[in-house]
Amino acid sequence: MSKELVGAFDALEKEKGIKKETIISALEAALTSAYKRNYNQAQNVDVEFDQKHGAIHVYAVKKIVDQVADSRLEYSLDDALQINKGYEVGDEIKFEVTPKNFGRIAAQTAKQVVMQRIREAERQGVYDQYSKYQDELITGEVEREDNRFVYINLGKVEAVMPKRGQMPNEVYRPQDKIKVYVTRVEDASKGPQVFVSRTAPGLLKRLFEQEVPEIYDGTVEILSIAREAGDRAKVAVRSTVDGIDPVGTTVGPRGERVQSIVNQLDGENMDIVQWTDNKAEFIANALNPAEVLDVIFDPDNEQACTVVVPDDQLSLAIGKRGQNARLAAKLTDYKIDIKSESEMKSSDNTNNNESSDDKESDKDQNDESSQTKPDEK
């Protein structure tokens, strides 16, 4: 070992951000294990690294006792007092036992420790860097694909996009540049693992922030998003400034802003919905483009309602394969039962008739009970 090693530690601290003290502490621990392993020693030892000269010293550490039971671990008080009159029972005394050929082992161990610390520091640095991107949009390059993931090169790390994060209408080819949403970052044993998605609602929010300055600066807020990725999405917006139309602002002149996002998502249709504190109005807005006549809330379930629409609007309100109703339910967090106007009237008439029949039945029972039989008088 030499001063060159000390210089190497200083350089690592500057270039990699690995503190010299951390490396030296790890080196001393590794050298202690190496000494015991290579010299078949069971006694307590300390290995000290001389930061000034780059020298390694190995010390046997023994406990001072009155009577020695194990000379590898203990040292008699009488012998210790001959070295220094200040020793007492229970103190520890050190004897240097550095082997003559320990330098070669020390050099190998130092190399291993340094390389390990560099790997750990680089791994931690990558994790620290990409953990900041969680819930953010980032551009990467497609590298390859297997049965589980599409692998995206983000620069210093290879991200993975699982099946559920892949758009059903997209084909990912090597070297394609794509925008992905970072869903989570894990500090795994083999290095940082970054998971990304193209289907997460958060990706849609970040795209709108990029395309609509008013959303980025908070003038218009996105309150809720419901997506069936690759097909259709509903986005609920509101304005934080009086006089600003949140829907018109988000859509943009001639629909340019929303069309830009549709193009980036390979044709995923967008419904921009005005959010309002009035739940009935918000639910009606969410079912756009269908017209809503009434919203009736379920008294037994505060998150359920029945929506009444004109007869000719029923299929539009429900949507193809129930998609419009399904997305509206996700957007509003309400269970929505959609009925046509005629169906609702028929249901009301049936209920009214049943109510009338019940009343007549109750009346007949009351009349019968009020009649007194002759033999009971």
Q: Which tens digits make up the pLDDT trace of 185-243?
A: 988 777 788 999 999 999 999 999 999 999 999 999 999 999 999 999 999 999 999 99
Choosing among 3.10.310.10, 3.40.50.150, 3.30.1480.10, 3.20.20.105, the CATH entry for 3-125 is: 3.30.1480.10
Q: How far apart are CA 58 and CA 27, in angstroms?
A: 13
Phi, psi values for residue 91, rounded to 5°: -70, 165
Predicted TM-score (pTM) of the model is: 0.68
Within 10 angstroms of residue 92's Cβ, the number of other Cβ atoms is 13
Cβ(194)–Cβ(162) under 8 Å? no
**CATH architecture under which domain 200-275 falls:** 2-Layer Sandwich (3.30)
**pLDDT for position 370:** 40
Asked whether the predicted pLDDT for residue 365 surpasses 70, the reply is: no
Handedness of CA 275, 279, 280, 283 (dihedral sign): positive
Q: How far apart are CA 362 and CA 365, in angstroms?
A: 5
Q: Tell me the mean pLDDT in the region 254-265.
A: 95
- 182 bridge partner residues: 196
Please state, for a pLDDT cut of 90, what percent of the chain lies above it: 59
Handedness of CA 209, 213, 218, 224 (dihedral sign): negative
Categorize the per-residue pLDDT at 289 as very low, low, confident or very high, splitting at 50, 70 and 90: very high
Show the 3-state SS of 141-182.
EEEEECCCEEEEECCCCEEEEEHHHCCCCCCCCCCCEEEEEE
The fourth-level CATH superfamily of domain 281-356 is: K homology (KH) domain (3.30.300.20)
Categorize the per-residue pLDDT at 375 as very low, low, confident or very high, splitting at 50, 70 and 90: very low
Handedness of CA 253, 255, 258, 259 (dihedral sign): negative
Taking only the tens place, the pLDDT of each residue in 96-121 is: 888 877 777 777 877 787 788 777 77
Query: Fold match between 200-275 and 281-356?
Result: yes
Choosing among 2.40.160.100, 1.20.120.160, 2.40.50.140, 3.90.1150.10, the CATH entry for 137-197 is: 2.40.50.140
**Alpha helix stretches (DSSP H) within 238-340:** 246-251, 256-264, 279-286, 314-318, 323-332
Taking only the tens place, the pLDDT of each residue in 301-349 is: 999 999 999 999 999 999 999 999 999 999 999 999 999 999 988 876 6
> What is the per-residue burial (b if ≥16 Cβ within 10 Å, else e) of 258-273?
bebbbebbeebebbbb
Cβ(308)–Cβ(341) under 8 Å? yes
| Helices (H) then strands (E): counts for the chain | 12, 15
- Residue spans of the domains in the chain: they are 3-125, 137-197, 200-275, 281-356
**pLDDT for position 377:** 36
Q: Which residues contact residue 106 at a Cβ distance below 8 angstroms, ignoring those fewer than 6 apart?
A: 1, 31, 34, 56
Q: Strand, coil or helix: what is 274? A: strand
Cis peptide preceding 99, ω within 30 of 0: no
Asked whether the predicted pLDDT for residue 165 surpasses 90, the reply is: yes
Asked whether the predicted pLDDT for residue 353 surpasses 60, the reply is: no
- 94 bridge partner residues: 61
